[in-house]
Amino acid sequence: MSFFIEVLLGGLLSGVMYTMVAIGFVLIYKASGVFNFAQGAMVLFAALTFVSLTERGFAFPLAFIATLAAMLLLALAIERIVLRPLVNAPPLSLFLATLGLAYILEGLAQTLWGTQVHGLDIGVSDAPISAAGVSVSRFDLFAAGTAATLVATLALFFRLTRSGVALRAVADDPLAAIAVGIDLRRLLALVWGVAGVVALVAGLLWGARVGVQFSLSLVVLKALPVLIIGGFSSIPGAIVGGLIVGASEKLAEVYAGPWVNGGIETWFPYFIALAFLLVRPAGLFGERSVQRV
């Protein structure tokens, strides 16, 4: 029984890590309807910038602030160079444009900082904590705590600040928001900036978990089933989706995997997502769209 709890707990904590990446997607989709495939590349860029700065002697807080500034500048550049020309493009073109953007970011990150692999140590060890026969990694708990803080901060931001409220307005009805005088362009830059900050936090945690190298951008593939289950435009959906995906994939791998010699983690979450979609075609918390002629 304790083994089952260990697997479940490990899965839930993994799921929280997926949620962190998914939140970046949700923010951007909510505000502009763009499915930002470049989120993974943004995670890589942030992690690589941070690690390279620390390796060149910057202290942790200074490197953090510098990377933060870099991500915000990047957001401004993206809004100006990528989003404005594509302002009325169909969603599929926008998706592929973000794919192109992912190439640019990956190329840029590696041109600036090189192609070597780096370790990232944020001071939390992997050593397990045991309680009642179940052991959990210290690092996983720390990551879960950080993610929770991040979500809480975002929730407060959306509820209490003017920009946050403006973002919710834009997500609800862009035309009406423009009509009441909300500057859409500044808001989009802000959203991409916040997504950049989320990417930085996710980059630090994932980088500490797997090392900072090119394959870090592949974490985006883990976020896709989370988004599909939870709905593209809902943060609570991303959280619930993440927990479901994390737990189900680990349990399936450990208990059903050995029957088929393992490796089912790659596709199992997508089938779960499909099952959820058949019941709720727009995700658990997503916006249902009404089809009209």
Partner 1 sequence: MLRTRAPGFVPFLAAALLTTACRSRSENASAAVLASPAPGTVSPGKESAGKEQYFPLQSYRVGPYAAGGSGFFGGFIDYMQLVNIRDGGVNGIKLTWSECETEYVVERGVECYERLKGGLNGAPAAAMNPLSVGIAYALIDKATTDKIPLITINHGRTDSTDGRVFPYVFPLSLNPYSEISAIVNYIGQRSGGLDHLRGKKIAVLYHGSPYGKETQPIVELLAQKYGFASTHLEVPHPGTEQESQWLQIKKLAPDWIILRGWGIMNPVALKNAAKIGYPVDHIIGNIWSNSEEDVIPAGAAATGFIAITTHPSGRQFPVLQDVDKYVLSAGKGNMTDPKRVGTGYYNLGINNGILNVEAVRVAQAKFGNKPLTGEQVRWGFEHIHIDDARLKELGAVGLLQPIELSCSDHEGGGAVRFEQWDGKEFKVISDWIKADRALLRPIIEASSTKYATEKGIAVRDCDAEARL
Partner 2 sequence: MRIEATPWSEPNTSTPPPRTSLFARASGRAVVRIALAAGGTGLLLVLPLLVDDYVLSAVLVPLLALSLAGIGQNFVTGYAGQLSVGSAAFMSVGAFAAYDLHLHLHGTPLLVSLAFGGVSAAAAGALFGLPSLRIRGFYLVASTLAAQFFVEWLFTKVGWFSGNSASGVITAPPLSIATVDLSSPGGHYWLSLLVVAPLTAAAYNLARGRIGRAWMAVRDMETAAAVVGVRTGQAKLLAFAIGSFYCGVAGGLWAFAYLGTVEPHGFDLDRSFQILFIVIVGGLGSIAGSFLGAAFIVLFPIFLDQLATFVMGGSVDPGVLQNIDKIIFGGLVIALLAKQPAGLARLIEIAWLRARRWTLRSA
The span of 92-100, 123-131, 138-146, 147-155 binding partner 2 (CB under 8 A) equals: 92-100
> Under rule CB under 8 A, which residues in 14-53 are in contact with partner 2?
35
Nearest to 165 by CA among 148, 180, 147: 180
Minimum distance from CB of 134 to partner 1 (Å)?
11
Nearest approach, Cβ of residue 266 and partner 1 (Å): 4
Report the alpha-carbon distance of residue 194 to residue 191 in Å, rounded.
5
Shortest approach of partner 1 to residue 219 CB, angstroms?
Answer: 7
Question: Does the footprint of partner 2 cover residue 6 (CB under 8 A)?
Answer: no
Binding test (CB under 8 A) with partner 2, winner from 79, 106, 140, 253: 106
Q: Which does 235 bind (CB under 5 to 8 A by kind): partner 1, partner 2, none?
A: none
* Residue 288 interface partner, choices partner 2, partner 1, none, CB cut-off 5-8 Å depending on type: partner 2
φ, ψ for residue 144, nearest 5 deg: -65, -40
Can you say whether residue 173 is alpha, beta or left, with left for phi > 0 and alpha for psi between -120 and 50 degrees? beta
Structure tokens at 171: 């997500």
Interacting partner of 102 out of partner 1, partner 2, none (Cβ under 5 to 8 A depending on kind):
partner 2
**Amino acid in the structure at residue 271:** F
Site for partner 2 contains 288 (CB under 8 A):
yes
* Token code pair at residue 87: 């302002």
State yes or no: residue 89 binds partner 1 (CB under 8 A).
no
The distance between the two most distant Cα atoms of the chain, rounded to a whole number of Å, is 61
Which of 46, 71, 82, 239 binds partner 2 (CB under 8 A)? It is 82
| Residue 79 or 140 having the CB closest to partner 1 | 140
3-state secondary structure of 212: strand
Q: Is 262 in the site for partner 1 (CB under 8 A)?
A: yes
In the window 172-191, what residues touch partner 1 (CB under 8 A)? none
Does the protein bind partner 1 through residue 62 (CB under 8 A)? no
CA distance readout (Å), 192 to 27, 78, 240: 8, 8, 23
The residue count of the chain comes to 293
Query: How far is 83 from 93, CA to CA, in rounded Å?
Result: 11
Sequence-ordered list of residues with C-beta below 8 angstroms from that of 129, at least 6 positions apart, any chain: 135, 136, 137, 138, 141
Q: Pairing mode, if any, of strands 128-131 and 134-137?
A: antiparallel
List 135's β-bridge partners, or say none. Answer: 130
**Is 92 near partner 2 (CB under 8 A)?**
yes
Least separation in angstroms between CB 114 and partner 2: 8
**Which residues bind to partner 1, rule: CB under 8 A?**
3, 6-7, 10-11, 14, 107, 110, 114-121, 125-128, 135, 137, 139-140, 209-216, 218-219, 222, 249-250, 253-254, 257-258, 261-263, 265-266
